[in-house]
Protein backbone atom coordinates (compact mmCIF):
# COMPACT_ATOMS: atom_id res chain seq x y z
CA UNK A 1 0.00 0.00 0.00
CA UNK A 2 2.81 2.34 1.03
CA UNK A 3 4.80 1.57 -2.11
CA UNK A 4 1.68 2.28 -4.26
CA UNK A 5 1.34 5.75 -2.75
CA UNK A 6 5.07 6.41 -3.24
CA UNK A 7 4.80 5.32 -6.89
CA UNK A 8 1.79 7.58 -7.52
CA UNK A 9 3.56 10.52 -5.93
CA UNK A 10 6.74 10.00 -7.93
CA UNK A 11 4.62 9.65 -11.12
CA UNK A 12 2.91 12.92 -10.32
CA UNK A 13 6.08 14.85 -9.59
CA UNK A 14 8.54 13.33 -12.07
CA UNK A 15 6.34 12.98 -15.15
CA UNK A 16 4.82 15.53 -17.49
CA UNK A 17 2.07 14.81 -19.97
CA UNK A 18 1.49 16.87 -23.12
CA UNK A 19 -1.26 16.26 -25.71
CA UNK A 20 -0.16 14.57 -28.93
CA UNK A 21 -1.16 16.59 -31.94
CA UNK A 22 -1.96 15.69 -35.51
CA UNK A 23 -0.28 17.69 -38.22
CA UNK A 24 -2.85 17.86 -41.02
CA UNK A 25 -1.38 18.33 -44.47
CA UNK A 26 -4.44 19.83 -46.08
CA UNK A 27 -4.31 23.18 -47.88
CA UNK A 28 -7.95 24.09 -47.38
CA UNK A 29 -7.92 23.49 -43.63
CA UNK A 30 -4.53 25.19 -43.35
CA UNK A 31 -5.74 28.32 -45.12
CA UNK A 32 -8.99 28.50 -43.07
CA UNK A 33 -7.05 28.09 -39.84
CA UNK A 34 -4.43 30.73 -40.69
CA UNK A 35 -7.10 33.18 -41.88
CA UNK A 36 -9.03 32.86 -38.64
CA UNK A 37 -5.84 33.28 -36.62
CA UNK A 38 -4.96 36.34 -38.67
CA UNK A 39 -8.43 37.78 -38.03
CA UNK A 40 -8.10 37.19 -34.28
CA UNK A 41 -4.62 38.76 -34.29
CA UNK A 42 -5.91 41.81 -36.19
CA UNK A 43 -8.79 42.11 -33.70
CA UNK A 44 -6.46 41.95 -30.69
CA UNK A 45 -3.83 44.33 -32.03
CA UNK A 46 -6.03 46.68 -34.05
CA UNK A 47 -9.20 46.86 -32.04
CA UNK A 48 -8.35 45.87 -28.45
CA UNK A 49 -4.89 47.45 -28.24
CA UNK A 50 -4.74 50.31 -30.74
CA UNK A 51 -8.38 51.46 -30.98
CA UNK A 52 -9.74 50.61 -27.52
CA UNK A 53 -6.35 51.08 -25.83
CA UNK A 54 -6.80 47.91 -23.82
CA UNK A 55 -3.34 48.31 -22.29
CA UNK A 56 -4.38 51.39 -20.30
CA UNK A 57 -6.55 51.97 -17.27
CA UNK A 58 -8.98 54.91 -17.28
CA UNK A 59 -10.19 57.52 -14.84
CA UNK A 60 -12.70 60.39 -14.92
CA UNK A 61 -12.08 63.72 -13.26
CA UNK A 62 -13.47 65.54 -10.28
CA UNK A 63 -13.92 69.09 -11.46
CA UNK A 64 -14.85 72.60 -10.45
CA UNK A 65 -15.98 75.45 -12.70
CA UNK A 66 -15.99 79.17 -12.05
CA UNK A 67 -17.41 81.73 -14.47
CA UNK A 68 -17.31 85.50 -14.77
CA UNK A 69 -19.03 87.74 -17.28
CA UNK A 70 -17.88 91.19 -18.29
CA UNK A 71 -19.38 93.83 -20.51
CA UNK A 72 -21.87 96.66 -20.25
CA UNK A 73 -25.31 96.91 -21.84
CA UNK A 74 -27.21 100.08 -22.69
CA UNK A 75 -30.96 100.60 -23.08
CA UNK A 76 -32.96 103.64 -23.85
CA UNK A 77 -36.69 103.58 -23.15
CA UNK A 78 -38.98 106.60 -23.37
CA UNK A 79 -37.25 109.21 -21.31
CA UNK A 80 -35.04 106.71 -19.54
CA UNK A 81 -31.49 105.78 -20.38
CA UNK A 82 -30.01 102.87 -18.50
CA UNK A 83 -26.70 101.07 -18.30
CA UNK A 84 -26.69 97.41 -17.28
CA UNK A 85 -23.54 96.01 -15.78
CA UNK A 86 -22.68 92.45 -14.81
CA UNK A 87 -24.37 92.73 -11.38
CA UNK A 88 -27.64 93.58 -13.18
CA UNK A 89 -27.72 91.02 -15.96
CA UNK A 90 -26.18 87.79 -14.56
CA UNK A 91 -28.29 85.44 -12.43
CA UNK A 92 -27.15 84.09 -9.99
CA UNK A 93 -24.16 86.37 -9.38
CA UNK A 94 -21.82 83.82 -7.73
CA UNK A 95 -20.13 82.62 -10.92
CA UNK A 96 -21.74 79.17 -11.07
CA UNK A 97 -21.31 76.71 -13.89
CA UNK A 98 -24.96 77.26 -14.78
CA UNK A 99 -26.16 80.85 -15.06
CA UNK A 100 -28.37 83.19 -17.09
CA UNK A 101 -27.35 86.28 -19.01
CA UNK A 102 -30.31 88.65 -19.42
CA UNK A 103 -30.80 89.73 -23.02
CA UNK A 104 -34.36 91.02 -22.99
CA UNK A 105 -36.81 92.03 -20.27
CA UNK A 106 -40.23 93.40 -19.42
CA UNK A 107 -39.95 95.81 -16.50
CA UNK A 108 -42.84 96.76 -14.19
CA UNK A 109 -41.75 99.51 -11.85
CA UNK A 110 -43.19 100.82 -8.62
CA UNK A 111 -45.47 97.89 -7.76
CA UNK A 112 -47.07 98.00 -4.33
CA UNK A 113 -49.54 95.79 -2.50
CA UNK A 114 -52.99 97.14 -3.41
CA UNK A 115 -56.11 96.48 -5.49
CA UNK A 116 -56.10 96.90 -9.26
CA UNK A 117 -57.70 95.41 -12.40
CA UNK A 118 -56.27 92.21 -13.86
CA UNK A 119 -54.70 92.07 -17.29
CA UNK A 120 -57.26 92.12 -20.13
CA UNK A 121 -57.57 88.89 -22.08
CA UNK A 122 -57.74 85.76 -19.96
CA UNK A 123 -59.25 87.60 -16.98
CA UNK A 124 -62.08 89.50 -18.71
CA UNK A 125 -65.47 89.53 -17.00
CA UNK A 126 -68.98 90.71 -17.69
CA UNK A 127 -70.29 90.90 -14.12
CA UNK A 128 -69.12 90.41 -10.52
CA UNK A 129 -70.26 86.79 -10.74
CA UNK A 130 -67.29 86.01 -13.02
CA UNK A 131 -64.84 87.11 -10.31
CA UNK A 132 -65.22 84.83 -7.31
CA UNK A 133 -64.21 86.88 -4.24
CA UNK A 134 -61.25 85.37 -2.39
CA UNK A 135 -60.47 83.06 -5.33
CA UNK A 136 -57.42 82.80 -7.55
CA UNK A 137 -57.29 82.29 -11.29
CA UNK A 138 -54.81 79.72 -12.57
CA UNK A 139 -52.63 82.28 -14.31
CA UNK A 140 -53.85 85.31 -12.35
CA UNK A 141 -51.67 87.84 -10.58
CA UNK A 142 -53.48 88.01 -7.25
CA UNK A 143 -56.51 87.25 -5.11
CA UNK A 144 -59.83 88.31 -6.66
CA UNK A 145 -61.87 90.85 -4.69
CA UNK A 146 -65.15 89.73 -6.28
CA UNK A 147 -65.56 92.92 -8.32
CA UNK A 148 -65.57 93.23 -12.09
CA UNK A 149 -64.06 96.63 -12.96
CA UNK A 150 -63.85 98.64 -16.16
CA UNK A 151 -60.45 98.86 -17.80
CA UNK A 152 -60.28 100.99 -20.96
CA UNK A 153 -62.77 99.36 -23.35
CA UNK A 154 -63.13 96.02 -21.50
CA UNK A 155 -63.88 94.81 -18.02
CA UNK A 156 -61.55 92.64 -15.92
CA UNK A 157 -61.61 91.15 -12.43
CA UNK A 158 -60.13 93.30 -9.70
CA UNK A 159 -57.35 91.64 -7.69
CA UNK A 160 -55.39 92.26 -4.52
CA UNK A 161 -51.86 92.01 -5.85
CA UNK A 162 -48.57 93.75 -6.54
CA UNK A 163 -50.10 96.60 -8.58
CA UNK A 164 -50.01 97.61 -11.35
CA UNK A 165 -49.87 94.01 -12.65
CA UNK A 166 -47.26 93.10 -15.22
CA UNK A 167 -48.27 93.35 -18.86
CA UNK A 168 -46.18 90.77 -20.71
CA UNK A 169 -48.41 90.35 -23.76
CA UNK A 170 -45.78 91.80 -26.07
CA UNK A 171 -42.14 90.78 -25.89
CA UNK A 172 -39.81 93.68 -26.86
CA UNK A 173 -38.52 93.19 -30.38
CA UNK A 174 -35.67 93.79 -31.16
CA UNK A 175 -34.41 92.61 -27.76
CA UNK A 176 -33.63 95.33 -25.24
CA UNK A 177 -30.05 94.21 -24.69
CA UNK A 178 -28.73 93.42 -28.16
CA UNK A 179 -25.39 94.72 -26.86
CA UNK A 180 -25.12 91.45 -24.91
CA UNK A 181 -23.56 90.03 -28.08
CA UNK A 182 -20.30 91.71 -27.07
CA UNK A 183 -20.21 90.55 -23.45
CA UNK A 184 -17.36 88.23 -22.61
CA UNK A 185 -17.41 85.07 -20.52
CA UNK A 186 -14.38 83.85 -18.60
CA UNK A 187 -14.36 80.14 -17.70
CA UNK A 188 -11.98 78.87 -15.04
CA UNK A 189 -11.98 75.10 -14.77
CA UNK A 190 -9.82 72.82 -12.71
CA UNK A 191 -9.87 69.02 -12.96
CA UNK A 192 -8.27 66.31 -10.82
CA UNK A 193 -7.82 62.70 -11.87
CA UNK A 194 -7.64 60.99 -8.45
CA UNK A 195 -6.44 57.60 -9.77
CA UNK A 196 -3.41 59.12 -11.46
CA UNK A 197 -2.91 61.98 -8.98
CA UNK A 198 -2.89 64.62 -11.70
CA UNK A 199 -4.48 68.07 -11.45
CA UNK A 200 -4.92 70.32 -14.47
CA UNK A 201 -6.47 73.72 -15.04
CA UNK A 202 -7.81 75.20 -18.26
CA UNK A 203 -5.33 78.03 -17.72
CA UNK A 204 -2.65 75.74 -19.16
CA UNK A 205 1.02 76.54 -19.71
CA UNK A 206 1.31 79.72 -21.77
CA UNK A 207 -2.08 81.15 -20.76
CA UNK A 208 -0.76 83.92 -18.53
CA UNK A 209 -2.28 87.19 -17.25
CA UNK A 210 -1.07 89.11 -20.28
CA UNK A 211 -2.54 86.61 -22.76
CA UNK A 212 -5.88 86.55 -20.88
CA UNK A 213 -6.12 90.33 -20.95
CA UNK A 214 -6.06 90.30 -24.77
CA UNK A 215 -7.25 86.96 -26.11
CA UNK A 216 -10.69 85.93 -27.36
CA UNK A 217 -11.56 82.29 -27.93
CA UNK A 218 -11.53 81.13 -31.53
CA UNK A 219 -11.78 77.41 -32.34
CA UNK A 220 -8.96 77.71 -34.90
CA UNK A 221 -6.77 80.65 -33.91
CA UNK A 222 -7.09 80.66 -30.10
CA UNK A 223 -8.57 77.29 -29.03
CA UNK A 224 -7.12 77.52 -25.51
CA UNK A 225 -8.19 81.08 -24.70
CA UNK A 226 -10.72 80.80 -21.81
CA UNK A 227 -12.49 84.08 -22.68
CA UNK A 228 -15.48 83.75 -25.00
CA UNK A 229 -17.60 86.40 -26.69
CA UNK A 230 -21.30 85.71 -26.06
CA UNK A 231 -22.11 86.35 -29.72
CA UNK A 232 -19.51 83.72 -30.75
CA UNK A 233 -20.89 81.16 -28.27
CA UNK A 234 -24.38 81.61 -29.72
CA UNK A 235 -23.07 81.36 -33.29
CA UNK A 236 -20.95 78.27 -32.57
CA UNK A 237 -23.92 76.54 -30.98
CA UNK A 238 -25.90 77.05 -34.17
CA UNK A 239 -28.30 79.76 -32.98
CA UNK A 240 -29.18 83.17 -34.31
CA UNK A 241 -28.36 85.81 -31.69
CA UNK A 242 -31.33 88.09 -32.22
CA UNK A 243 -33.88 85.28 -31.97
CA UNK A 244 -32.37 83.67 -28.90
CA UNK A 245 -31.86 87.08 -27.26
CA UNK A 246 -35.53 87.95 -27.74
CA UNK A 247 -37.19 84.90 -26.19
CA UNK A 248 -34.26 83.28 -24.37
CA UNK A 249 -32.72 79.86 -24.74
CA UNK A 250 -30.13 77.46 -23.37
CA UNK A 251 -26.63 76.64 -24.50
CA UNK A 252 -24.31 73.92 -23.24
CA UNK A 253 -20.57 74.48 -23.25
CA UNK A 254 -18.74 71.18 -22.95
CA UNK A 255 -15.19 71.32 -21.65
CA UNK A 256 -13.68 68.09 -22.86
CA UNK A 257 -10.59 66.67 -21.14
CA UNK A 258 -9.45 63.58 -23.04
CA UNK A 259 -5.93 62.91 -21.83
CA UNK A 260 -3.23 60.30 -22.27
CA UNK A 261 -0.85 60.34 -19.33
CA UNK A 262 1.61 58.00 -21.09
CA UNK A 263 2.83 61.18 -22.78
CA UNK A 264 3.73 64.47 -21.08
CA UNK A 265 0.91 65.75 -18.78
CA UNK A 266 1.32 69.16 -20.41
CA UNK A 267 -0.34 67.68 -23.50
CA UNK A 268 -3.51 67.30 -21.44
CA UNK A 269 -5.46 70.34 -22.62
CA UNK A 270 -9.17 71.15 -22.72
CA UNK A 271 -11.33 71.34 -25.84
CA UNK A 272 -14.44 73.48 -25.87
CA UNK A 273 -17.62 72.41 -27.70
CA UNK A 274 -20.85 74.36 -27.97
CA UNK A 275 -24.33 72.88 -28.17
CA UNK A 276 -27.66 74.65 -28.59
CA UNK A 277 -29.96 72.97 -26.07
CA UNK A 278 -33.19 74.86 -26.70
CA UNK A 279 -34.25 78.18 -28.08
CA UNK A 280 -34.30 79.59 -31.61
CA UNK A 281 -37.98 79.15 -32.41
CA UNK A 282 -38.48 78.19 -36.03
CA UNK A 283 -41.84 78.55 -37.78
CA UNK A 284 -43.00 75.11 -36.62
CA UNK A 285 -41.64 75.65 -33.11
CA UNK A 286 -43.89 78.66 -32.69
CA UNK A 287 -46.81 76.32 -32.27
CA UNK A 288 -45.09 74.65 -29.33
CA UNK A 289 -46.45 75.08 -25.83
CA UNK A 290 -43.41 76.89 -24.53
CA UNK A 291 -40.77 78.71 -26.47
CA UNK A 292 -37.52 80.16 -25.15
CA UNK A 293 -36.50 80.62 -21.54
CA UNK A 294 -37.62 83.24 -19.01
CA UNK A 295 -38.17 83.78 -15.33
CA UNK A 296 -39.28 86.61 -13.00
CA UNK A 297 -37.11 88.51 -10.59
CA UNK A 298 -38.12 91.28 -8.16
CA UNK A 299 -36.12 93.99 -6.39
CA UNK A 300 -37.84 95.23 -3.23
CA UNK A 301 -37.40 98.66 -1.67
CA UNK A 302 -39.11 101.08 0.71
CA UNK A 303 -40.56 104.39 -0.52
CA UNK A 304 -42.16 106.68 2.10
CA UNK A 305 -42.50 103.68 4.43
CA UNK A 306 -44.44 101.83 1.70
CA UNK A 307 -42.90 98.59 0.52
CA UNK A 308 -42.54 98.58 -3.24
CA UNK A 309 -40.84 96.43 -5.85
CA UNK A 310 -39.57 96.50 -9.39
CA UNK A 311 -40.51 93.34 -11.26
CA UNK A 312 -38.45 92.07 -14.16
CA UNK A 313 -39.56 89.34 -16.51
CA UNK A 314 -36.13 88.25 -17.65
CA UNK A 315 -35.53 86.60 -21.03
CA UNK A 316 -32.00 85.31 -21.23
CA UNK A 317 -29.44 82.89 -22.46
CA UNK A 318 -28.91 80.14 -19.94
CA UNK A 319 -25.41 78.74 -20.13
CA UNK A 320 -24.58 75.34 -18.67
CA UNK A 321 -20.93 74.39 -18.49
CA UNK A 322 -20.48 70.65 -18.53
CA UNK A 323 -17.09 69.03 -17.89
CA UNK A 324 -16.42 65.74 -19.66
CA UNK A 325 -13.25 63.86 -18.92
CA UNK A 326 -11.44 60.63 -19.63
CA UNK A 327 -7.78 60.05 -18.82
CA UNK A 328 -5.75 56.96 -19.67
CA UNK A 329 -2.45 55.52 -18.51
CA UNK A 330 -0.55 52.26 -19.05
CA UNK A 331 -1.43 49.59 -16.51
CA UNK A 332 -0.10 46.02 -16.39
CA UNK A 333 -3.40 44.46 -15.23
CA UNK A 334 -5.62 45.51 -18.21
CA UNK A 335 -2.66 44.70 -20.51
CA UNK A 336 -2.40 41.11 -19.25
CA UNK A 337 -6.19 40.73 -19.24
CA UNK A 338 -6.35 41.84 -22.89
CA UNK A 339 -3.51 39.48 -23.89
CA UNK A 340 -5.09 36.61 -21.97
CA UNK A 341 -8.49 37.08 -23.57
CA UNK A 342 -6.77 37.36 -26.97
CA UNK A 343 -4.96 34.04 -26.48
CA UNK A 344 -8.29 32.51 -25.47
CA UNK A 345 -9.93 33.73 -28.66
CA UNK A 346 -7.19 31.99 -30.67
CA UNK A 347 -8.88 28.76 -29.59
CA UNK A 348 -11.77 29.66 -31.94
CA UNK A 349 -9.50 28.84 -34.91
CA UNK A 350 -8.90 25.30 -33.59
CA UNK A 351 -12.61 24.67 -32.98
CA UNK A 352 -13.62 25.87 -36.48
CA UNK A 353 -10.84 23.94 -38.24
CA UNK A 354 -11.66 20.77 -36.30
CA UNK A 355 -15.27 21.07 -37.42
CA UNK A 356 -14.21 21.44 -41.06
CA UNK A 357 -11.71 18.61 -40.77
CA UNK A 358 -13.88 16.07 -38.98
CA UNK A 359 -17.34 16.80 -40.38
CA UNK A 360 -17.13 18.64 -43.70
CA UNK A 361 -14.16 17.39 -45.72
CA UNK A 362 -14.68 14.35 -48.02
CA UNK A 363 -11.78 12.54 -46.30
CA UNK A 364 -13.24 13.20 -42.86
CA UNK A 365 -13.21 9.49 -41.85
CA UNK A 366 -9.49 9.30 -42.56
CA UNK A 367 -8.82 12.38 -40.42
CA UNK A 368 -11.04 11.07 -37.65
CA UNK A 369 -8.99 7.89 -37.55
CA UNK A 370 -5.81 9.92 -37.41
CA UNK A 371 -7.06 12.19 -34.67
CA UNK A 372 -8.72 9.73 -32.32
CA UNK A 373 -7.36 6.51 -30.98
CA UNK A 374 -10.25 4.07 -30.55
CA UNK A 375 -10.59 1.47 -27.81
CA UNK A 376 -12.30 -1.87 -28.35
CA UNK A 377 -16.04 -1.90 -27.87
CA UNK A 378 -16.76 -2.32 -24.19
CA UNK A 379 -17.73 -5.91 -23.61
CA UNK A 380 -19.61 -6.74 -20.44
CA UNK A 381 -18.47 -9.86 -18.69
N1 LIG B 1 -15.47 87.93 -18.69
C2 LIG B 1 -14.24 88.38 -18.80
N3 LIG B 1 -13.84 88.96 -19.95
C4 LIG B 1 -12.60 89.42 -20.08
N5 LIG B 1 -11.66 89.36 -19.12
C6 LIG B 1 -12.00 88.81 -17.95
C7 LIG B 1 -13.30 88.30 -17.74
N8 LIG B 1 -13.35 87.81 -16.49
C9 LIG B 1 -12.15 87.99 -15.96
N10 LIG B 1 -11.34 88.60 -16.83
C11 LIG B 1 -9.95 88.97 -16.58
O12 LIG B 1 -9.25 87.78 -16.28
C13 LIG B 1 -8.31 88.01 -15.24
C14 LIG B 1 -8.53 87.03 -14.14
O15 LIG B 1 -9.81 87.21 -13.60
P16 LIG B 1 -10.07 87.08 -12.04
O17 LIG B 1 -11.53 87.11 -11.83
O18 LIG B 1 -9.33 85.90 -11.54
O19 LIG B 1 -9.36 88.37 -11.43
P20 LIG B 1 -9.92 89.75 -10.86
O21 LIG B 1 -8.78 90.69 -10.75
O22 LIG B 1 -10.70 89.51 -9.63
O23 LIG B 1 -10.88 90.23 -12.03
P24 LIG B 1 -11.72 91.58 -12.15
O25 LIG B 1 -11.21 92.26 -13.38
O26 LIG B 1 -13.13 91.12 -12.31
O27 LIG B 1 -11.54 92.38 -10.91
C28 LIG B 1 -8.49 89.46 -14.82
O29 LIG B 1 -7.52 90.23 -15.48
C30 LIG B 1 -9.85 89.81 -15.33
O31 LIG B 1 -9.96 91.19 -15.62
- Residue 18 in domain: no
- Considering the domain architecture, whether residues 303 and 279 belong to the same structural domain is answered as yes
- Checking if the pLDDT of 280 tops 80, the result is no
Helix and strand element counts for the chain (H, E): 8, 15
pLDDT at 192: 97
pLDDT digits (tens, 9 = 90+) for 141-170: 999 999 999 988 899 999 999 999 999 888
Residue among 64, 70, 201 to mutate when testing ligand 1 (max atoms within 8 A of CB):
70
In 3D, which of 285, 320, 355 has the Cα closest to residue 96?
Answer: 320
Closest residue (by CA) to atom 29 of ligand 1?
213
Check whether residue 343 and residue 323 sit in a common domain.
no
Pocket test for ligand 1, best of 182, 186, 189 (most atoms within 8 A of CB): 186
The verdict on the CB of residue 227 being under 6 Å from ligand 1 is yes
**Dist CA 298 CA 313 (whole Å):** 9
- The domain that holds 40 is classified in CATH as 1.10.287.940
Task: For residue 340, give its domain range.
Answer: 23-55+331-371
185: domain CATH number is 2.60.490.10
In a domain, 124, yes or no: no
Pair (36, 87) in one structural domain: no
d(CA 51, CA 128): 75
Task: Indicate whether 281 pLDDT > 70.
Answer: no
Its sign, for the CA torsion 147, 150, 154, 156, is negative
User: Between 378 and 38, whose confidence is greater?
Assistant: 38
Name the residue at shortest CA distance from atom 28 of ligand 1: 213
Q: Quick count: other Cβ atoms within 10 Å of Cβ 44? A: 19
Instruction: Say whether both 33 and 107 belong to one domain.
Output: no
What residues contact residue 174 under an 8 Å CB cut-off, 6+ apart? 242, 246
pLDDT on residue 380: 59
Q: Is the CB of 90 under 6 A from ligand 1?
A: no
* 6 is a domain residue: no
Question: How does pLDDT run across 286-317, given as a tens digit for each residue?
Answer: 557 788 899 999 999 999 999 999 999 999 99
> Looking at the structure, do residues 71 and 45 belong to the same domain, yes or no?
no
Atom of ligand 1 nearest to the CA of 188: 18
Amino acid sequence: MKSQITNALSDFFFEYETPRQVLVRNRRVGVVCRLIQLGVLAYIIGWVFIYEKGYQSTDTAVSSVFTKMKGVGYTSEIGKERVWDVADYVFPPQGDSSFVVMTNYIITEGQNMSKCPELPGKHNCTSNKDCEGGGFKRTGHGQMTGVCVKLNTTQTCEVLAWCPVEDDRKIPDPPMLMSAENYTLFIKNSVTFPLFGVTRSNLVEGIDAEYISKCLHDPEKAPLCPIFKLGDIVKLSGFNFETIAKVGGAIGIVVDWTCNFDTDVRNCKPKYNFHGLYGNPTETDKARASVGYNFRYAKHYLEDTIQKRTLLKVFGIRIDIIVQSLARKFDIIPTLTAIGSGVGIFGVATVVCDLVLLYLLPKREFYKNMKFKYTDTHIQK
